[in-house]
Amino acid sequence: MVGAAARLIVALALAAFAAAAIAETFAVRGSCRDGYVHGVYELRGGDGRLRVQGAFNRGARTSSFLYWTSNGIRVAHIPYDDGGIAGTVALWYAQTLPGQEARQKLEAAYAKGERHGPTRSWFPNGRPRGEYAYERGTLVAAKAWNALGTPLAESAARGQATRDAEEDGRYFTSLDAIVDANLPACEPAATSGTKS
């Protein structure tokens, strides 16, 4: 029961962050090349605070995309290679006490857009939530705990891993939607060989 309540709280907080960001007015800094978003990308809130920073290569996300809440709390670091998540993803809880660093929520290894390698997650109180191993997107090992620190049976740990991966996927999609809704306007490349 504690695990379900914690998942609900986290899901609601992540959904609230994404909904607030989509409704917010942003200032976009980015450029285009041959009709594609290309180069450094920045998204700032109406107050000038940096909300998203990353880079594109001919329309595909590349390098790391970093995301912050409207009050400056870093909530995500998502590395990309040629548009697919590749590297170590890190997520933090958006709720934090004044003067304290945000607590880490997730650390997950990705290759070619799939989980590949270790994934670790934590509860908002900092206690371990799960340790999972993936091979090319397939869960191969799972250990997990409830919010009180009691180990879960392997079947429950695998179930938690599956639910967490689905929730993380929805969150990544919501972050992508913020960027996709706020891209610089790129003119299509000229077909006659001249640049537009």
Exposure string for 127-163, b = 16+ CB within 10 A, e = fewer: eebbbbbbeeeebeebbbbbeeeeebeeeebbebbee
Q: What is the pLDDT along the chain (196 residues), one digit of tens a residue?
A: 445 544 544 554 555 555 555 567 899 999 999 999 999 999 999 999 999 999 999 999 999 999 999 989 999 999 999 999 999 999 999 987 777 788 999 999 999 999 999 999 999 999 999 999 999 999 999 999 999 999 999 999 999 999 999 999 999 999 999 999 999 999 887 665 544 4
Rounded to 5 degrees, what angle do the CA atoms 166, 169, 173 make?
A: 140
Token pair belonging to 101: 């660093």
Element (H, E) at 85: strand 84-85
For the chain, the farthest-separated pair of C-alpha atoms sits apart, in whole angstroms, at 66
Q: Is 142 in contact with 154 (CB distance < 8 Å)?
A: yes
Domain boundaries in the chain?
2-180
The full length of the chain comes to 196
First to last CA, the chain: 59
